[in-house]
Homo-oligomer: A and B are copies of this chain.
């Protein structure tokens, strides 16, 4: 196993602290410290060893799978046992009692999946589906299996990743669930189409993973969240394979499709997904602006959504994020995003002398057969009402170039003793400021967050007529020796603050192990009974992703 196996992304893209000179200098100065490489996962994890007896039992149970499709190797078992959150990484570094599956199964056909689910069900093997493994809220975290045989298998869908069919006349495409974002986009792009689904994890996450976690892409305000994009689904369950209705917009009884969107694998293994696709836009046009406050920018966006504007990318940074971008956002010397931003902020501060909290907003409109100019003109005309100014569109373009890069920095930061986590919520517009202010206030009082030393940034990244997705980045020195407790304390504080102020526990990260407490507190009691009755019928032995959601 390569020593960097646990890190995000492309190994040739890995970064070192010196690749971030501005950030390093800024944080070292802020915290009066010198960063050292302090954290790495151990070479060997103290995971439960796999007995030969268990191995033989599992080999027998899954006897029809060829040896390429079944792996008992420790590194495989660890690799699929956690996602890609800060908490996952720090748990790896601390060798924190990681529960792994006994075996990793890698189907390549739908028959394989049906076989695996059937065998697992017949033999009481717990079954945890994994796609790209990029979840950041503990969706892959396993529990010890309490059943007698204590057998746990992960079904890794990454090799079940082919296009099944593109239907150009109907703008739909059907894929196997394990396909990764870039492979899927490449297939569609070559034919002139796009899915328009670009979560930050895009390069390493799968279609099936998006569906079961209710994923959102950075362009979802135009292309929709995955729940809007998915058209039809095939799900392998212990009692058989279910197909949702042929049409999403007919009146032929209840359509069960949405039952599986966000189901996190507890009802079945999503095997095939038919999605709505769109023609590739011929061009994209950016509109960038600065607002005197986060509130002004948010109110601006609220008004746009109320008038049916459909930008693809929308992102409004709060003052902290805007200023941090201006200070450390670009680590290279080209005329960049940041240089432009700095200049703009100066202009802006000159123009509105008593306003000191500039907030940058970027917005992109995708255009194909008809012009989006009226939308852009309207959006532009409204900026002044909220005391904003238009800024150069290069700010948006630069953001787009770097939009999948930040996870690399995260891993480097962790190695150097820096806590860095992200959280998010969907919240009604009326509560946006309240959530922002309450988090700011509570974090400043939090010892775990090192009070005033911690950096707290927010942006709005997805907008609806009734709500906005707020995304938070938290950076502070790690508490050496108490890293896990520190994480728990901050997670508890942030989640509790969000929920108490009207936000939902997640807009696109999902529930997983990390949000389950809040999910259950908030869940409708009759609704829970419905979910449990569905679970009982589809998964009578309770083998599927035990412990997740309401199980």
**Which residues of A approach B to under 8 Å, CB–CB?**
167, 169-172, 213-216, 225, 227, 231, 237, 239-264, 276, 278-279, 302, 306-309, 368-375, 377-378, 426, 428-430, 462, 464-467, 504-511, 515, 519, 522-527, 529-534, 536-538, 549-550
Contact = CB atoms under 8 A, between A and B. Distances in A.
A225 B507 CA distance: 24
B430 A170 contact: yes
Contacts of A375: 370
Of the candidates A249, A308, A466, A534, the one having the most CB atoms from chain B within 10 angstroms of its own CB is: A249
A529 B241 CA distance: 12
A241 B529 CA distance: 12
Contact of A549 (B254, B372, B373, B465): B254
A251 B370 contact: no
A267 to B, nearest CB: 8
A249 B225 contact: yes
A534 B526 CA distance: 11
A187 to B, nearest CB: 18
Given A242-B526, A254-B263, A170 B370 contact: no
A213 B510 CA distance: 31
B308 A506 contact: no
A251 B510 contact: yes
A525 B172 CA distance: 24
A521 to B, nearest CB: 11
A270 to B, nearest CB: 13
A511 B252 contact: yes
Contacts of A534: 530, 533-534
Contacts of A243: 524, 527
B511 A253 contact: yes
Copies in the complex: 2
Given A466-B231, A511-B252, A278 B308 contact: yes
Contacts of A430: 169-170
Contacts of A170: 428-430, 465-467
Contact of A259 (B250, B523, B530): B530
Contact of A370 (B250, B254, B378): B378
Given A254-B263, A262-B254, A370-B374, A533 B533 contact: yes
Nearest to A255: B258
A237 B172 contact: no
A237 B309 contact: no
Contacts of A252: 262, 504-506, 511, 515, 519, 522
Contacts of A536: 533
Contact of A307 (B254, B279, B532): B279
B258 A279 contact: no
A214 B169 CA distance: 25
B373 A251 contact: no
A378 B374 contact: no
Contact of A467 (B216, B247, B464, B467): B247
A249 B507 contact: yes
A169 B430 CA distance: 8
Contact of A504 (B225, B246, B377, B550): B246
A529 B519 contact: no
A519 B253 contact: yes
Given A249-B462, A372-B374, 4 more contacts: A227-B255, A249-B464, A253-B550, A256-B530
Nearest to A225: B249
Contact of A466 (B171, B245, B508, B519): B171
A506 B504 CA distance: 36
Contacts of A377: 370
A301 to B, nearest CB: 13
B506 A549 contact: no
Contacts of A309: 370
A279 B250 contact: no
B171 A465 contact: yes
A89 to B, nearest CB: 21
Given A525-B240, A533-B533, A504 B466 contact: no
Contacts of A231: 466
B507 A256 contact: no
B169 A251 contact: no
Given A252-B522, A467-B247, A506-B251, A242 B530 contact: yes
A278 B532 CA distance: 36
Contacts of A259: 254, 256, 258-259, 530
A221 to B, nearest CB: 10
Contacts of A214: 250-251
